[in-house]
Structure 1
Amino acid sequence: MVHFKDDTMLLEAIGKFTQCLSQWNLNYNTMIENCNSYFIQCMNSFIKNDIKRVKDSRRNFHKNSEDVGTAFSRNAQVPKSKLGECEEAASNLVISRNNFKKASIDYLFEVNIIQYKKRTEVLNCLLSHLKGHQSFIVQTNSTFNDLNPYIQQISASLQTLQNEAASTRQQLRNESNTVLNLAMSSSVDDHRMSTSTSSQIDVYPNEECMEGYLYKRTTKTFKSWVRRWFIVDNNQLMYCSQHKSREGAVIMERDLRLCNVVPFQDTDRRFCFQIISPHRTHLLQADNEKDCQKWVAFIQETAKKAYNRMNSTPSCIKVGCISADLMASSCSPLRCVSTKSPPSATSNLLPKIPSHVKSILTISGNDVCCDCGHPDPRWASFNLGVTLCIECSGIHRSFGVHKSKVKSVTLDAWEPDQVRVMEQLGNDIARRIFELFVCEDGDVCMNDAGTKIVKATPNCSREVREEWVTAKYLKRSFVRRSNSQNHPTMPSTPQLKNAVKMNDGADAYGNDYWLNQDADDSEAASKLLCRAAEVGNLPGMLKALALGADVNFKNTEDSDKTPLIYSLTTGLNAPVEFMLLNGSKVDVPDADKKTPLHHAAILGNAGQICLLLKRKANQHLKDINGNDALSIAVENADANVVTILRLARLNEEMKGSDGGFDNPSDDMFAEVFKDFSAIPSSSVDGASSTRSSICTLSSTTTTFQ
C-alpha cells in the first residue's frame, strides 16, 4: 500500500478486493469448521456405539465357542461305568451348544447391522458436506454479485491503462533503439581511438578535478587488478571503492608535483600508465586508449600547474643564489618581506635553510637543470651528482634506481656522504662528461651513430626530453671521442701514490686531467675507474663509468682488487659512497679473499666501515688466512673499529633472536653510524666525539642481553 499511496484508483480497488476476499475467506473458514464438526460428531457416535456392540458380540461369540469345545472334551472323557457323570456331561454339552448358537446369531446380526449403517452414516456426512459448500457458494456468489458493477468499472479502466502502457512501451522502445545506435557508434569511435596512434588528447586547463574508474594493480603477492573510483583533486591522487562519496578515500599520492606519469607498455594489459613517485610506483589501467591519454595528460597538467603556482611565489628575498620560493618549499611558508626593511628585521623573518640545500645548489652549474637548463632545479640524481627539474627527474626515475637515484633537494632527507658526493661533482662536470660532443650552436646534435637528436629545453615536449636524456645517460652517445687513440698515457700506480703523497693527500693531477681521459673498451675504462678511485677523484670515476667501466671489475694486475677496494685506500668516505651508490657489491673479495670490509678494518677507517655495514656487508667472511674483519681490528688494537663491528654483530644476533621484529637498539646503531659518517676524514681525533654514543649503546645492549 505504501508504494501506491499517490494512486487513488488503485488504492480503492485494492481496498474493495481485499474486503471481498476477506469475506470470502471468512465464509470458507466457517463452512470448513461446520463440516468438520458434524463429520467428527457422526464418526464419534458410529465408533463409540455401533462398533462397540459389534466388538462385544464378537467377544461373546468367541467365549461360547471355547465353552462348546470344553464341553465336547469332558463328554468324550467320561467312563462308561459312571452313568451319572455321563448324563451330567451330556446335559452340559447341550447347554453349551445352545449358548453358542445364540451367540453366533447375535454376532451375525450385529455385523449385518453395522454394514448397512456404515453406508447411511457415510452418505449422511457427504450430504451435509455438500450442503455446507452449497451454502458457501451461495454466499460467495451474493458477495461477488454486489461487487460486479465495480469489477466492470475496473475492467474498463484497465483496458484504458493497457492501451496507454502499450503506447508508452512503443515510445520507450524507439528511444532505446536511438540510444543503442548512439552507443554503438560511440563504441566504434572508442575502438578507433584505442587503435589509433595519433589520438587527439583533450586537456581541460580550467578544470581542477578529474574523476573516473581505473583498474589498480595491487601490491600483494598475486598482483591482482581491482577496479576503483580515482579522483585527482587539489594536487592529490586518491581512490575509493565507489563514486557516490569520498568518505574513506585512500590518498595514493599527496603531492603530484613529486610524481611523473608515463604510459606503460611492458605488460600484457592495454591502456596502462605508470605513476612514479620518489618512493614507489603505481600501475593503473584505463578502459580505453582515449581515457588513458586523458588521465596522463590531466595528471601531467595538474602537476605542471601546481609547480608553476609554486614558482610564481614572490621572490623578493635572495640569499646567495637561493631564491625565496626555494626556501618556501624546503621550510615553513615564507612571508614576503620588503627589501626596504632593516636587515635585522629581515633576518628574523627568514626561515632556516638546511645546510645541504645551500651546499648542493651553490655548486657551479647547479642553479639550472643539467639536462634541459630549467632554472631553480629542485631534484637531484645523487649517484650522478647532478641537479634536475621535475620533468627530467621523472625520466631519470623511469630508468630505475640502478641507473639513476633521484630525490628531492628540499623535501627529502640527505645523508652527509650523499651531500659530499654532490659537492665533488655538479652539473658542470657532468656536462663535460656526458655532453662532451654536443654542439654549442643550435639545438640538434649528432650522436656517435650519426643520428640527429634534438637537445632538450625547458619548454620541450616529453618525447624530445626523453630521447635526449636517454641518449645522454643510457646510451652515452656524447661521451666517446671520435679519435680515441689520441689520449694521454695513464700514470702507473706508484706514480699516482707519489703524486698524492707529495700533494698532502690530494689529487695532484686535478679534474681536468681525469676528464680528458678516454678508454677504448670496457676493460680500459674499468682500469681507469680503479686509478681514479685510488686517488679519490669523483669526476674521474664518473668519467670512467660513462666510458663503460664495470663497477665490480677485478684488476688481475693488482691482486684482483675492485674499484671499491681502491676507493677505501683514500681514507675518504665520498669515493666509497660514490661506488656504493653506483652498484658496487660490498662482498666481492680480492685474490687473498679479503672483502672491502677486511680492507677497511686494516686501514682502521670507522666511517668507511659504517658505510659498508649499512649496505649489509657480511662481516663473517674470512680471508685466506682465516681472519674476519673483527679479528683484524682486534689484532690492530683499533678500539673504535672493534666497537663498531662488535655492536653491529650484536645487533644482528639480537634481530635474529627476536624473530625479525624491531630491535630496541636500532636507533642507537643508526646514531652511531651517523656520527662516524659525519667525522671528517682528515680529523685524527674525530672519532672521540662518538665515544659517548658508543658507551650509551654498549650499556643499552648489555641491558638487552
Structure 2
Amino acid sequence: MTVKLDFEECLKDSPRFRAEIEKVEVNVNELETRLEKLVKQCHTMLDAGRAYCQNSKSFVNGLKELGNHCSEDRTMGECLEKFSKKLSDIVSAQEEVIETTQKSVKLKLQNFVKEDVKRFKDVRKEFERSSENLEAALSRNAQAPRGKQHEVEEASNNLLNARRAFRSGALDYVLQINVIESRKKTEILMAMLSLMEAQALFFHQGYQSLTELKNYQKQLSDEYTQLVLNSAREKRDMEQRLGAVKKKDVSYDDSIMDFSPDAPNGIAMEGYLYKRASNAFKTWSRRWFSIQKNQLVYQKKHNEQITVVVEDLRLCTVKPCSEQDRRFCFEVVSPSKSCLLQADSERQQQSWITAVQNSIASAFQDRRDDTLGPRDRCSSVSAGSVRLSAGEPETSGREALEEVQAISGNGQCCDCGEPGPDWASINLGITLCITCSGIHRSLGVHFSKVRSLTLDSWEPELVKLMCELGNTAINKIYEARIDEITIKKPHSSSPRQDKESWIRSKYVEKKFIHKLPETGRGTVLRRSSARRNRETTQDRHNTRPAIKPKPNRATLPRLTGLNPSEIMKNNSSSHKENDEEEDLSGLHPGALLYRSAAMQHFPLMADALAHGADVNWVNVAEDSKTPLIQAAMVNSLAACEFLLQNGANVNQVDSDGRGPLHHATILGHTGLVCLFLKRGADYNAKDIDDKDPIGIAIDAANADIVTLLRIAKMNKEMREMDGTPSGDDTYHDIFRDFSQMASNNPEKLKRRSADMK
C-alpha cells in the first residue's frame, strides 16, 4: 500500500501538509461522484437485465408450450424441447450473472461510498473543527496581554488542549486518508475481477475473445491477491505506529525544526510566526517563515510565491522586543526596513533569534571571499591619528576549534562524551556536540550561550577564555557529587530526552555540585589593617587607587581540587606580604567570586558562579568594588570577558563613581578599554572628581586610549546621524586590531604606552 501522507508531516502541520490534504479531498470527492454515478448505472442495467430475464423465461415457456403442441412431430418437438432447455440454462446463467453483479459491483461499491467515504468525511469534519479551534486558540494565546497573568494562563491552557485535540484528530485523518487510498483499489479491483469471471462463464460464445484476457486475468488475480495481503500487513503496521504515536504527548510546543544550515533542501529553519503589518492598522497575520539562501522569507500557502523579508542576512540584525504588549516578540532590522515578528512561545522566540544570528554568521562565512576585497582603511581623530596592525587575522572557526579542543577534556562533549565536538558554551567554557548544543540553547542565554567552533568567527579574548576553563575543570564543579547520586550520565548514543534531562539537572537545578558551608553565608570582606593604614596616607582624589598585590598566575594550582582553603594554602608561600592572610573557605559565593577575580583563577570563579554568586556583587568594605573592577585592576582580559559573558554590568561604579572603564583608563590597560567599549561601557560617565574616561586618558597622556574613546564617541554620533545600526567599518577594524594585540601581543601595547609617555 502506498502511504499518501506521513504522520510526522501531519504533526508539523506545514503548508505542504495542507496542500496534500486539499489534493486528497478533491480526489475523494471526485471518486465519490464517479462511484455514485456508476452505482446508478449498474442499478439501471440490473433492472433491465431482470426484465430481460423475465421476458426470456416467458419466451422459453412459450417455446415449451409450442413443443408440447408439436409433440406429435418428433423432430420439431425434440428441437423445441432441447432449444428451450438450452435457453433456460442460458437464462438461469444470466440470472446468476445479475446476482453476482449485484453482490460484487453494486453492493460493494455502494457500501464503499456509504461507509468508507462517509467515515472519511466524518473524520474530515472533526479535523476541520479541531483545526478551527486550534487557530482560534493560537489567536487568543497570541493576543493575551502580558500584564494579565490569569488571561495568559487561561489562553495557554486552551492552546494546550486545542493543540492536543487537533493533533489527535489530524493523526486519525491521515490514517483514514491512507486507508481509503488502499480500500478504493481493493474494492474496485475485486468488483471488476468478479464481474469478469461471471461474464466469462456466462458468455460461452465470447469464450475466444475472453481467452485473450485469460493471462491478464490470471496476472490481475495474482496481483490482487498479493495486494490484499500487503494491504492488510501495512494497515496493521500503521495502526501499531498510530498507537505508539498517540501514547506520546502530542501537546508539546515543538512546531519548528532545529536550525540546520546544511539541510538538503536549503531551508535552514522554518515554522509559523505572527507578522505585524506595516500599514496604519498594524494588524498581525500568521505566516509560514523560513530561512533559505541567506534570506528570511515567508508565504501563506504552499503554492504561493514567497515574500522576501530580508534580501541579504548580512545586512540585518535581530533582537528581542519587550516593548510590545504581545509576548514573545522579536525584531529583524535591516538598513531599509524593520520587521516585527511574534513566536508562539519563549522557546520558539529564542530559537528563531539564535537561528537568524547563526544564519548571519554563516552568510558572512560563506561569502566573505566573494564580497570583501582589498581596501584602504584610515581613521582621523582630532587629537591624533592611529592605525594599528595586530599582525594576525581574526581567529577563524577552524583555528578556534583546534585550539579549544586541545584543552584537557575538550576532545569529547562535556555532557555526553561524543568525540570531536564543534560547538561551545562561551559563558561556561565547555565544548558540546550538536545535540547537546541545541539543548543548551533551549535553556536560555542566562544559563548557556552557544556558539559554533566552525561556523562563527572568534574574538581572541573569547578563545583565551575558553582555554582557561575546559570540560575537565567545569565537570569537576558541576559533577562533583555524581558518584553520590544514582542518576546515570548519558552517552553519545543516548536518546535526546535523556540528555536534556541530564543537562537541566546539571546546569539549571545544579544537583551535582558540592554545597558550600553555611558558616560563610553572611561574611563581608574586610581590608587588612596594613592596607587600611596605607590608604589613610594617600590622597584618594589625586593618586591612582592602591592595588593589593595578587599571586602570580604561574603559582596558582591548576585543578587540584576547588577547595578555596587548599588553594590559599598552596599559594601562601608565593605571595606573603604585610597584609594578613585570608581564608577563602568561609566566604559566601559573591565574596568568593570577588577574590578569585582578582586572583585570575577561572575554575574558582566558575565554582563561585555555580554556587549562585551574584556576578555584580558589591564589596562595601573595599569602596563598593565589583568582581569586574577587580579583574580590570589586575589587567585580566580573559577574566573580564568571563564576567561579562556571565552578565556582569560594565557600567556599575564603585563608591568613587568609577566603573571598569575608569579603572582600565587610570591604569593604562588599553586592551581592557577596548573590550569595555565594545561591550557598551559609557565613555561619558564621570567619577566623583567630575572626570570622564577621556579626561583621565588625556591627563595620563595615553594616546592609544584617547584614540579609542574618541573613535567610540565619533562612531555613536555617526550612527545617530545616519541611522546605521552598526556604524563605521573603520571603527570596527581599529577595535579588532586593538583586541588582537591585547590578546596576542600585550607587550607591544606596553611598549607603545611607554614610548608615547
TM-score (norm 2): 0.48
Aligned to 1:244: 303
Q: CA deviation at 1:492?
A: 8.3
* Alignment partner of 1:678 out of 695, 716, 740: 740
Q: CA deviation at 1:209?
A: 8.0
Quick check: 1:191 aligned with 2:165?
yes
Aligned to 1:537: 601
Q: How does 1:655-674 map to 2 (within 5 A)?
A: 655-656=719-720, 658-661=721-724, 666-674=728-736
Change (3 A) 1:672 1:649: same
Aligned to 1:367: 411
Aligned to 2:273: 216
Alpha carbons 1:381, 1:407 under 8 Å: kept: yes
Counterpart residue identity of residue 668, structure 1: T
Aligned to 2:25: none
Aligned to 1:394: 438
Q: How does 1:71-220 map to 2 (within 5 A)?
A: 177=118, 179-184=120-125, 191=165, 194=168, 198-199=247-248, 215-218=272-275
Q: How does 1:419-430 map to 2 (within 5 A)?
A: 419-430=463-474
Change (3 A) 1:400 1:495: farther
Q: How does 1:570-609 map to 2 (within 5 A)?
A: 570-609=634-673
Aligned to 2:679: 615
Alpha carbons 2:480, 2:512 under 8 Å: kept: yes
Alpha carbons 1:240, 1:249 under 8 Å: kept: no
- The 2-side partners of 1:271 and 1:568 are apart by 39
Q: How does 1:488-503 map to 2 (within 5 A)?
A: none
Counterpart residue identity of residue 515, structure 1: L
Change (3 A) 1:522 1:647: farther
- The 2-side partners of 1:232 and 1:250 are apart by 10
Residues 17-67 of structure 1: CA deviation (Å, up to 9, x unaligned): xxxxxxxxxxxxxxxxxxxxxxxxxxxxxxxxxxxxxxxxxxxxxxxxxxx
Q: CA deviation at 1:596?
A: 1.1
Alpha carbons 2:671, 2:739 under 8 Å: kept: yes
Residues 116-157 of structure 1: CA deviation (Å, up to 9, x unaligned): xxxxxxxxxxxxxxxxxxxxxxxxxxxxxxxxxxxxxxxxxx
Counterpart residue identity of residue 429, structure 1: A
Counterpart residue identity of residue 199, structure 1: K
Change (3 A) 1:435 1:426: same
- The 1-side partners of 2:286 and 2:352 are apart by 24
Alpha carbons 2:473, 2:559 under 8 Å: kept: no
Aligned to 2:590: 526
The farther-off stretch of 233-242 and 476-485 is: 233-242
Q: CA deviation at 1:598?
A: 0.9
- RMSD of aligned C-alpha atoms? 5.2
Q: How does 1:218-367 map to 2 (within 5 A)?
A: 218=275, 224-228=284-288, 240-244=299-303, 274=348, 279-280=353-354, 354-367=398-411
Change (3 A) 1:182 1:625: closer
Structure 2: gaps (5+ residues): 1-108, 131-163, 170-244, 251-262, 314-326, 330-341, 357-364, 370-395, 532-545, 566-582
Q: CA deviation at 1:245?
A: 6.7
- The 2-side partners of 1:210 and 1:631 are apart by 53
* Alignment partner of 2:500 out of 466, 475, 489: 466
Change (3 A) 1:688 1:273: closer
The farther-off stretch of 666-675 and 517-526 is: 517-526
Change (3 A) 1:281 1:331: closer
Counterpart residue identity of residue 301, structure 2: Q
Where 1:586 maps in the other structure, the secondary structure is: coil
Alpha carbons 2:461, 2:739 under 8 Å: kept: yes
Quick check: 1:506 aligned with 2:553?
yes
Change (3 A) 1:331 1:200: farther
Q: CA deviation at 1:273?
A: 7.8
Alpha carbons 2:417, 2:491 under 8 Å: kept: yes
Q: CA deviation at 1:169?
A: 13
Counterpart residue identity of residue 677, structure 2: L
Alpha carbons 2:414, 2:471 under 8 Å: kept: yes
Structure 1: gaps (5+ residues): 1-167, 202-206, 255-264, 283-327, 333-351, 440-444, 447-451, 695-705
- The 2-side partners of 1:574 and 1:220 are apart by 44
- The 2-side partners of 1:471 and 1:383 are apart by 18
Alpha carbons 1:329, 1:411 under 8 Å: kept: no
Residues 79-107 of structure 1: CA deviation (Å, up to 9, x unaligned): xxxxxxxxxxxxxxxxxxxxxxxxxxxxx
Aligned residues: 430
Q: CA deviation at 1:176?
A: 6.5
Alpha carbons 1:383, 1:581 under 8 Å: kept: yes
Q: CA deviation at 1:546?
A: 0.7
Alpha carbons 1:438, 1:478 under 8 Å: kept: yes
- The 2-side partners of 1:232 and 1:528 are apart by 45
Aligned to 1:480: 514
Q: CA deviation at 1:241?
A: 3.2
Quick check: 1:566 aligned with 2:630?
yes
Aligned to 1:456: 490
Change (3 A) 1:592 1:353: closer
Counterpart residue identity of residue 685, structure 1: K
Where 1:676 maps in the other structure, the secondary structure is: helix
Change (3 A) 1:491 1:661: closer
Alpha carbons 2:424, 2:437 under 8 Å: kept: yes
Q: CA deviation at 1:244?
A: 3.1
Where 1:644 maps in the other structure, the secondary structure is: helix
Q: CA deviation at 1:555?
A: 0.3
Alpha carbons 1:521, 1:548 under 8 Å: kept: no
Higher-RCO chain (CA-CA 8 Å, sequence separation at least 6): 2
TM-score (norm 1): 0.51
- The 1-side partners of 2:672 and 2:686 are apart by 19
Q: CA deviation at 1:187?
A: 7.2
Aligned to 1:379: 423
Counterpart residue identity of residue 399, structure 1: L
Alpha carbons 1:217, 1:225 under 8 Å: kept: yes
- The 1-side partners of 2:118 and 2:344 are apart by 31
- The 2-side partners of 1:364 and 1:329 are apart by 31
Counterpart residue identity of residue 247, structure 2: S
Alpha carbons 1:416, 1:678 under 8 Å: kept: yes
Q: CA deviation at 1:548?
A: 0.8
Counterpart residue identity of residue 660, structure 1: G
Alpha carbons 2:651, 2:660 under 8 Å: kept: yes
Residues 369-409 of structure 1: CA deviation (Å, up to 9, x unaligned): 00111111110001110000111111111122222111100
Where 2:424 maps in the other structure, the secondary structure is: strand
Counterpart residue identity of residue 226, structure 1: R
Aligned to 2:195: none
Q: CA deviation at 1:479?
A: 1.4
Q: CA deviation at 1:639?
A: 1.7
- The 1-side partners of 2:672 and 2:615 are apart by 18
- The 2-side partners of 1:200 and 1:245 are apart by 33
Aligned to 1:100: none
Aligned to 1:697: none
Where 2:247 maps in the other structure, the secondary structure is: coil
Counterpart residue identity of residue 377, structure 1: P
Change (3 A) 1:186 1:248: closer
- The 2-side partners of 1:473 and 1:413 are apart by 26
Q: CA deviation at 1:353?
A: 8.1
Alpha carbons 1:602, 1:633 under 8 Å: kept: yes
Aligned-pair identity in percent equals 32
- The 1-side partners of 2:311 and 2:711 are apart by 39
